[in-house]
């Protein structure tokens, strides 16, 4: 493609060229967005995040007063204070029953 001399082009031709460039750029951007959504495994839409985000998790640690912590995120204050006093994390573990889960087909 030859380079047009933009300085010598009439205004109408420049406006037509600008509209053509906008159409080309927008169609290419839509094509790239479509390819990106296919690669990421999501069907369109912005944002996203982990599919596990916001799910409830059973408590892994429990204080003597009944406060619980699932082991995710920052340690709660009651646990930090207890650890400073010399207690161990194992002292607060919740005994869990093992549950057999069905496999999804």
For the chain, the domains span 9-40, 61-92
Burial class of 92 by CB neighbour count within 10 A (0 to 12, 13 to 18, 19+): buried
| Nearest residue to 90 via CA among 71, 76, 67 | 71
pLDDT at 100: 66
The number of beta carbons lying within 10 Å of the beta carbon of residue 79 is 18
Which pLDDT tens digit goes with each residue over 34-84? 998 888 765 545 556 677 777 888 889 999 999 999 988 899 999 999 999
Tokens matching residue 13: 């031709």
pTM of the predicted structure, to 2 decimals = 0.44
CB distance 96 to 64 below 8 Å = no
Cα–Cα dist 79/92, whole Å: 9
Distance CA 12, CA 7 (A): 13
Mean pLDDT (whole number) for 75-100: 87
């Amino acid at each position: 493609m030859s380079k047009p001399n933009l300085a010598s082009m009439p205004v109408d031709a420049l406006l037509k060229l600008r509209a053509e460039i906008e159409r080309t750029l927008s169609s290419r951007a839509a094509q790239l967005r479509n390819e990106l959504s296919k690669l990421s495994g999501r069907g369109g839409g912005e944002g996203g995040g982990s599919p596990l985000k916001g799910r409830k998790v059973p408590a892994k640690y429990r204080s003597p007063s009944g406060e619980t912590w699932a082991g995710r995120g920052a340690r709660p204050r009651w646990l930090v204070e207890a650890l400073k006093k010399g207690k161990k994390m194992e002292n607060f573990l919740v005994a869990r029953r093992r549950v057999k889960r069905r496999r999804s087909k």
